[in-house]
Amino acid sequence: MFTLDAGNVMLKPSQRRQMNTWLKRAMRLGERIGDFAVRITMHRSGKAIQIEADVKNSRGAVAFRSRQNDWQDAVREIVRMLTAHLHDQLIHPA
């Protein structure tokens, strides 16, 4: 399950679809782990955009944060961290 709270960041529908495309691999990994839910929150302050991702699955909960000048860079960084974390959880079961 994926929830996006764009806050005060204006995203076009094409940008939302782009974000969903970037998250596809992480979503598949999370579903393999079980009870997977991601909540992404975006906030703009000045020129910077802060993105927070709260991830919950059957093996615990974790939060990621990225602050960049461009929303695409921030989302890419979050997706990289999320995918690496889920891959590590999948390879090394608790």
pLDDT in tens, 35-74: 999 999 999 999 999 999 999 999 899 999 999 999 999 9
Query: Predicted confidence band at 2 (pLDDT cuts at 50, 70, 90)?
Result: confident
63: alpha, beta or left? (left if phi > 0; alpha if psi -120 to 50): beta
Q: What integer pLDDT is reported at residue 94 of this predicted model?
A: 66
CA dihedral 75, 81, 84, 87 (to 10 degrees): -80
Domain harbouring 26, CATH code: 3.30.160.100
Start-to-end CA distance of the chain, whole Å, equals 22
Range of the domain at 51: 2-91
User: In the predicted model, is pLDDT for residue 27 greater than 80?
Assistant: yes
Domain count for the chain:
1
User: In the predicted model, is pLDDT for residue 93 greater than 90?
Assistant: no
